[in-house]
Structures are given as C-alpha cells and as structure tokens.
Amino acid sequence: MITIIQRSVKLIFLTVLITLAADSLQAQEIWVSYAPRAITEQGYAGLKFRYRAFIRTEIEDGDAAAHLWIRVDREGKNGFFNNMGDAPIQSGEWKEYSIEGTIDDDYTQIIFGIWSIYNGRFYVDDVSLEVQTKDKKWESIYKADFEKGIEEWKQGIGVESMGINSLFTGEPVSEKVKNGKQCFLISGEGVPNYGTNSKAGKYAEVNGIKLYYEIYGEGKPLVILHGNGGSIAAARGHLSYFVQHYKVIAVDSRGQGKSIDNDSELTYELMASDINGLLNKLKIDSAYIWGHSDGAILAIILALNHPEKVKKAVAFAANVLTDTVGIEAPVFRYFENKAKNSSNKKRSSSVH
C-alpha cells in the first residue's frame, strides 16, 4: 500500500513539473527581448549606473507593453536585476525611462535591452548606459541612436533561447522618430493574447459585479476556470488546442484578472454562482467545465449546486477538503500562516 502511495505521489509530482515546464515554454510565446552585446570590460565595480531610453508604443492588446531591463552577472551568483515588470510602458507619446542601480563588485558582465509583450508596435530611441565615476561625473559606456541601423541588437537575454520569439520583428525605421532620422521599431503580430484580447473580451453583470470573459471557437461550449490569483492567461498553454474543437468561454474569476469584485464575502460557492450566472447571461443551458486548482473547486461546486449546467467536468489540483485531511499538514500550515499575514484579508479568507 505504501509503495502504491509513493508511486502516486511521484507521478503527481512529475505531472506538476511537466505542467510548470509547459507553462514556462508557453509564456515565452508572448514576449521578446532585444539586446546589444554584453559589456564585459572591467573597471566599473561598485559604481552607480543609469540606463535610459526613449520609448513610445502603439499597443493592440490591453496588457501589451514595452520595458527596459538590465542584469549584472556574477560568477555563480545573482547580481543586480531589474526588468520594470511592475512598470509597463504603454504611453503613445515619446518619454524617457530609466533604471538606476549599482554594479556588483564581482561582476563578470553587464547585459541590458528592451523587452516587449503581446501585440503592438514599440518604438525605441536614444539608448544610453552611463556610470558615475569617483569624481561624481557621469561617463557613457554605451550609446545607440540607431542612425546606422540595429545590426548590434539581437533577440534574446543572453540565457539560452529565452527572449527569442519569431512572432516579433525588429527593424530601423524613419517614421515617428524621437531624434535624428531613424529609431528602432519592435513589432509583435499574431502573438497569443488570451486574457488580454480586446476584440474577444467582454464583461457580464452577474451577482453585482462585472465578470470578464473571452469567447473563442465554435462547437460545444467549454468553460475554462483558472487557479487562485490567476487569470485566463494562466490556461494559455491549453487554449490553443481547445479553441480548435470547442466554443471556449474563458473566465476571470471575481476579483482576479480583469474581473471586478465587491464587498460580498468571497467564497467558492459565490464564485461558482458567478459562473452559473454567466452561463445564464449567455443563454447556455449546459457546458463542459475545465478547472485548475481553485477553478477545479469551482467546477466541482458548480456540478453539485447546478448539475443541469455541467455536461462533464475536468477538475485537477482541487482541494475538496481545505484542511489537514485533504492537504499535507506542513503545506496547509504554510498557507494558513501566509493567509493570516496577508494584507488582503478578504482574499486570504478564501483559503479556508
């Protein structure tokens, strides 16, 4: 019996690893990075730096954006890193953006660039990297105005194939430049944009909130429900297949993704009721339900409370019993403590 359990645990663990790896690979489909050669010259250890560029965007998807990024590599260790992940650039006007920091004492190289995500046109001009010398003067160690082209700028981030994406192109253009006669244009076209597709996305009024959803494909209806803290985009790796065979209704649960929340107590029963309300709004009498993690819990509750709405359900990684009966005690205690210390008390209460 113990051997069977051990094998089952190993199988589940392996499945999780495969799923995470697949999600990681799918995530690379939506972004690209362009970077010049890495700076390997020594002499900048401990100096402050500022990395700057002018950027403007013409975005097609709600979450499309450009970002600066810079990484200081050390031998076998992590150094300074900033990719403006919390400060996406979406302005249609030329503006200067910057990242400032300090170069690690034992650095091996400094690598930097521009990364863009989703569909749109991202214009870049007057890129510069400077260090502050000991006499407090700023000294340029890299400049690019793209007047002679972009030959030095290649896709990638200097780590294997990461940041390389054939759905994006980079080229020098003479249109809408900031200074001079040319700037650098990064274009994303045909990039998978599940969860941020302004053409497919809509809101439905259910249970006093606005629930965001996107519809794709034709055929029998299939509802896609993501996990806690996620969004439609979390199922990106599966949607490309499903939309070829079903009428997919992908949903952001209340208070997550683009869906709105209100003051009601957040419970799984309420979130499952939201899905039932959405199906009523869409005049869908029954559907297949696919749910992961919290989405799996919603699929089960929907089947229990509204069985007429569920043709069949696929529920994986669901916690039917959210206590130490259904979850290993150390794991449960970890999330219980995390919930107690969370600044979002309403969201943390949903773990119980």
Residue 131 CB-density burial (10 A; 0-12 exposed, 13-18 middle, 19+ buried): buried
Q: Are 55 and 66 in contact (CB under 8 A)?
A: yes
Which residue carries 């709600």 as its tokens? Answer: 62
The reported pLDDT for the residue numbered 118 is 96
The reported pLDDT for the residue numbered 349 is 47
The reported pLDDT for the residue numbered 328 is 78
Distance of CA 101 to the CA centre of its chain: 25
* DSSP assignment string, 172-205: EE-SS-SSSS-EEEEEE-S---TT--TTTEEEEE
Per residue in 246-261, pLDDT (tens digit) is: 999 999 999 999 999 9
Per residue in 25-54, pLDDT (tens digit) is: 446 689 999 999 999 999 999 999 999 999
Please tell me the chain's helix, strand, coil percentages from 3-state DSSP, rounded to the nearest 5.
25, 35, 40
CA neighbor of 97 nearest in space, from 114, 110, 120 = 114
CB atoms within 10 A of CB 220: 12
pLDDT at 10 over 90: no
Q: What is the 8-class DSSP label of residue 253?
A: P
Name the pairing type of β-strands 120-132 and 107-117: unpaired
Per residue in 187-245, pLDDT (tens digit) is: 999 999 999 998 899 999 999 999 999 999 999 999 999 999 999 999 988 998 999 99
Residue 266 Rama label (left phi>0; alpha psi -120 to 50; beta): beta
Per residue in 307-346, pLDDT (tens digit) is: 999 999 999 988 766 677 767 788 778 878 877 877 665 5
pLDDT at 70 over 80: yes
The reported pLDDT for the residue numbered 318 is 86
Per residue in 281-303, pLDDT (tens digit) is: 999 999 999 999 999 999 999 99
Per residue in 196-208, pLDDT (tens digit) is: 998 899 999 999 9
pLDDT at 348 over 80: no
pLDDT at 1 over 70: no
CA neighbor of 208 nearest in space, from 257, 249, 265 = 265
The reported pLDDT for the residue numbered 331 is 79
- Structure pTM? 0.78
CA neighbor of 310 nearest in space, from 344, 339, 270, 272 = 272
The reported pLDDT for the residue numbered 344 is 62
CATH topology of domain 193-320: Rossmann fold (3.40.50)
Q: Where are the domains of the chain?
A: 32-188, 193-320
CATH of 32-188, one of 1.10.3470, 2.40.128, 3.40.462, 2.60.120: 2.60.120
Per residue in 102-116, pLDDT (tens digit) is: 999 999 999 999 999
The reported pLDDT for the residue numbered 28 is 66
Which long-range CB contacts under 8 A does 152-157 form with residues at least 24 apart?
A: 152/36, 152/37, 153/34, 153/35, 153/36, 153/113, 153/184, 154/34, 154/35, 154/36, 155/32, 155/33, 155/34, 156/33, 156/35, 157/33, 157/35, 157/69, 157/71, 157/111, 157/113, 157/115
Residue 183's pLDDT band, with cuts at 50, 70 and 90, is very high
The reported pLDDT for the residue numbered 320 is 66
Separation between Cα atoms, residue 239 and residue 247, nearest integer Å: 11
Same-fold call for 32-188 versus 193-320: no
Q: Are 72 and 103 in contact (CB under 8 A)?
A: yes
The reported pLDDT for the residue numbered 327 is 73
pLDDT at 22 over 70: no
Could you tell me the two tokens for 163? 């940041």
pLDDT: which is higher, 322 or 76: 76
